C-alpha cells in the first residue's frame, strides 16, 4: 500500500506565514514529490466549532479564506483532495465508537488539550466536544487510512493519542486501522515561528501575524516595525542575532539564491550574521533584505490568490467534489470498522444464519 497524507486546519482565520513554514510549504513539497498515493487536506470546521459553538458565523466565513490560502500556496486540486470536515457524517460516527476506547484521564493528560484549556480560560467550563476533540481528530486521520500527518509540533500529542486509539482498536477488534506517523517541519525555527513582536508563537489572538493574503505594502509595514535587538542602536553597534525576529525569519525563509538575488555582498546567512554581531550592519538593511526574501516567496502566492478570488464558484466546486470523494473513502473505512466491531448486522449473512440456528430449536 502506498503512503497517504491527511492533515488539516481549523478555519478560524486566514492562514499566516507561521502556518506556511510550519506546514503548508511542506504539504506542497509532498504533493509535488509524487511520493504519496493520496493527499487529503481537511478544513476542520467541526473541530473549530468545539470552542466556537457560539460563533458559527466566524467558522463559516473562514472556510473560503482557508480554501483560498490552500490554493494560493500551490495545493493543486488535481493532486490533492480538499474537503470540509462537517460534511462527512462518517467522521462523527467513527468518533462515537472510538470514544469507547479512550478514558477521561487519558484526555486530561493530553498536553495539547491541557494547554489549550489554559489558553482559553475554560477551567471548569470545558465543552465536552472540545475536551474530546483528540478522538475526533483520530477519526479524521484513520478515516482516510493516513500513514503520514504533516503538522506542527503542537499537534504531536494529538498524533500520539491517535496512534494509541489505532493500537487499541486493532488489539480489541482485529487489524483494521492504519497507524499514522507524524511529519514535523524540517527545523526548529519553522516549528515555532515567533510573531513579529518577538513574542511566543505567531498567532491571530496576539495580533502579531503576517498573513499570506497581506498585500506587499502591509508586509513591508510589519517588517519595518519588527522587533530586532533593542541594544543595537547605531549601525556600528554590535548586534544580537538570537531572539532577533528578522534573523529568525531569515532562518525560515532564506533560499539558496536569496543572497545572490537581493544581497550579493554576502555569500550566505552565516556571513551576514557574523557581520551583524560584530557591528556595521544596520537594521534597515536586514529588514529590506528580509522584505525582499519574503516578497519573493509571497508574491506568487498573492498572485494565485487573486486568480482564485476571481473564481469563487470554481473553488466551491473543488470543495464539493473533494468532500464527496472523501466521503466515499470515509464510508468504506466506517464499513470496515463496523464489520470489525460486529455491528454490521444487515451486511452480514452470518448474522441471520446465526440467529436462525439459535432460534431453530
**Which 3 state secondary structure label does DSSP give 194?**
strand
Among positions 51, 65, 69, 140, the unique one binding ligand TRP when judged by CB under 6 A: 140
Neighbour order of strands in the sheet with 36-43:
81-84, 36-43, 3-9, 148-150, 181-183
Cβ-based nearer residue to ligand TRP, 209 or 293: 209
**Which 46-85 residues touch ligand TRP, going by CB under 6 A?**
47
Q: Which is nearer to ligand TRP, 137 or 258 (CB)?
A: 137
Is 141 one of the binding residues for ligand TRP (CB under 6 A)?
yes
Closer to ligand TRP by Cβ: residue 9 or 283: 9
Q: How far is the CB of 122 from ligand TRP (least distance, A)?
A: 16
- Choose one: 3-11, 242-250, 265-273, 315-323; the region binding ligand TRP (CB under 6 A): 3-11
Closest CA relative to residue 297, chosen from 248, 263, 227, 249? 249
Residue whose C-alpha cell reads 486566514 in the numeric block: 14
Kindly identify the residues of this chain, within the stretch 301-330, that bind ligand TRP according to CB under 6 A.
none
Q: Cα-flanking dihedrals φ and ψ of residue 35, to 5°?
A: -80, -15
Question: Residues 21-24: contacts with CB within 8 Å, 24+ apart?
Answer: 21/185, 21/189, 21/190, 21/193, 21/252, 21/253, 22/152, 22/185, 22/190, 22/191, 22/192, 22/193, 23/150, 23/151, 23/152, 23/185, 24/69, 24/70, 24/73, 24/75
- Say whether residue 110 binds ligand TRP (CB under 6 A): no
The correct pick among 4, 5, 10, 289 for binding ligand TRP (CB under 6 A) is 10
C-alpha distances (whole Å) from 35 to each of 8, 69, 79, 185 are 19, 23, 12, 17
Q: What part of residues 146-205 is at the interface with ligand TRP (CB under 6 A)?
A: 149, 151, 155
Shortest Cβ 319–ligand TRP spacing (Å): 16
Report 14-53 residues binding ligand TRP (CB under 6 A).
Answer: 42, 44, 47
To ligand TRP, the closest distance from the beta carbon of 197 in angstroms equals 22
* Closest chain position to ligand TRP (CB): 44
Smallest separation, CB 205 to ligand TRP (Å): 13
Q: Which of 4, 9, 131, 132 binds ligand TRP (CB under 6 A)?
A: 9
Cα–Cα dist 120/131, whole Å: 12
Element containing residue 183 per DSSP (H, E)? strand 181-183
Cβ partners under 8 Å of residue 195, min gap 6: 18, 201, 202, 203, 206, 208, 209, 245
Task: Pick the binder of ligand TRP from 7, 72, 228, 323 (CB under 6 A).
Answer: 7
Tell me whether residue 51 or residue 229 sits nearer to ligand TRP (CB atom).
51
Which residues contact ligand TRP (rule: CB under 6 A)? 6-10, 42, 44, 47, 137, 140-141, 149, 151, 155
Amino acid at each position: 500500500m502506498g503512503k497517504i497524507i491527511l492533515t488539516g486546519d481549523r478555519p478560524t482565520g486566514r492562514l499566516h506565514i507561521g502556518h506556511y513554514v510550519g506546514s503548508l510549504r511542506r504539504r506542497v513539497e509532498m504533493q509535488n514529490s509524487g511520493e504519496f498515493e493520496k493527499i487529503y487536506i481537511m478544513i476542520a470546521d467541526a473541530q473549530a466549532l468545539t470552542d466556537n459553538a457560539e460563533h458559527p458565523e466566524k467558522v463559516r466565513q473562514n472556510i473560503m479564506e482557508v480554501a483560498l490560502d490552500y490554493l494560493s500556496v500551490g495545493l493543486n486540486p488535481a493532486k490533492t483532495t480538499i474537503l470540509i470536515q462537517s460534511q462527512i457524517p462518517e467522521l462523527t460516527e467513527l468518533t462515537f465508537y472510538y470514544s469507547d476506547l479512550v478514558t477521561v484521564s487519558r484526555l486530561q493528560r493530553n498536553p495539547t488539550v491541557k494547554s489549550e484549556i489554559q489558553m482559553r480560560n475554560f477551567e471548569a467550563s470545558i465543552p465536552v466536544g472540545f475536551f474530546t476533540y483528540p478522538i475526533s481528530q483520530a477519526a479524521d486521520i484513520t478515516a482516510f487510512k493516513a500513514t503520514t500527518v504533516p503538522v506542527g509540533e503542537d499537534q504531536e500529542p494529538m498524533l500520539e493519542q491517535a496512534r494509541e486509539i489505532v493500537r487499541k482498536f486493532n488489539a480489541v477488534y482485529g487489524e483494521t486501522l492504519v497507524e499514522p506517523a507524524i511529519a514535523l517541519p524540517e527545523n526548529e525555527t519553522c516549528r515555532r515561528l515567533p510573531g513579529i513582536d518577538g513574542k511566543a508563537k505567531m498567532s491571530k489572538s496576539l495580533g502579531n501575524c503576517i498573513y499570506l493574503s497581506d498585500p506587499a505594502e502591509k508586509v513591508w509595514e510589519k517588517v519595518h516595525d519588527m522587533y530586532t535587538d533593542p541594544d543595537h542602536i547605531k549601525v556600528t553597534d554590535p548586534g544580537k542575532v538570537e531572539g532577533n525576529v528578522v534573523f529568525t525569519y531569515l532562518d525560515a525563509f532564506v533560499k539558496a539564491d536569496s543572497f545572490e538575488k537581493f544581497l550579493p555582498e554576502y555569500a550566505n546567512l552565516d556571513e551576514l550574521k557574523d557581520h551583524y554581531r560584530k557591528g556595521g550592519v544596520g537594521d534597515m538593511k536586514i529588514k529590506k533584505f528580509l522584505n525582499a526574501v519574503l516578497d519573493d516567496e509571497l508574491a506568487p502566492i498573492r498572485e494565485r490568490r487573486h486568480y482564485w478570488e476571481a473564481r469563487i464558484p470554481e473553488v466551491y466546486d473543488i470543495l464539493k467534489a473533494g468532500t464527496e470523494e472523501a466521503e466515499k473513502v470515509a464510508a468504506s473505512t466506517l464499513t470496515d470498522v463496523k464489520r470489525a466491531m460486529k455491528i454490521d448486522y444487515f451486511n452480514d449473512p452470518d448474522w441471520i444464519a446465526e440467529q436462525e440456528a439459535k432460534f431453530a430449536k
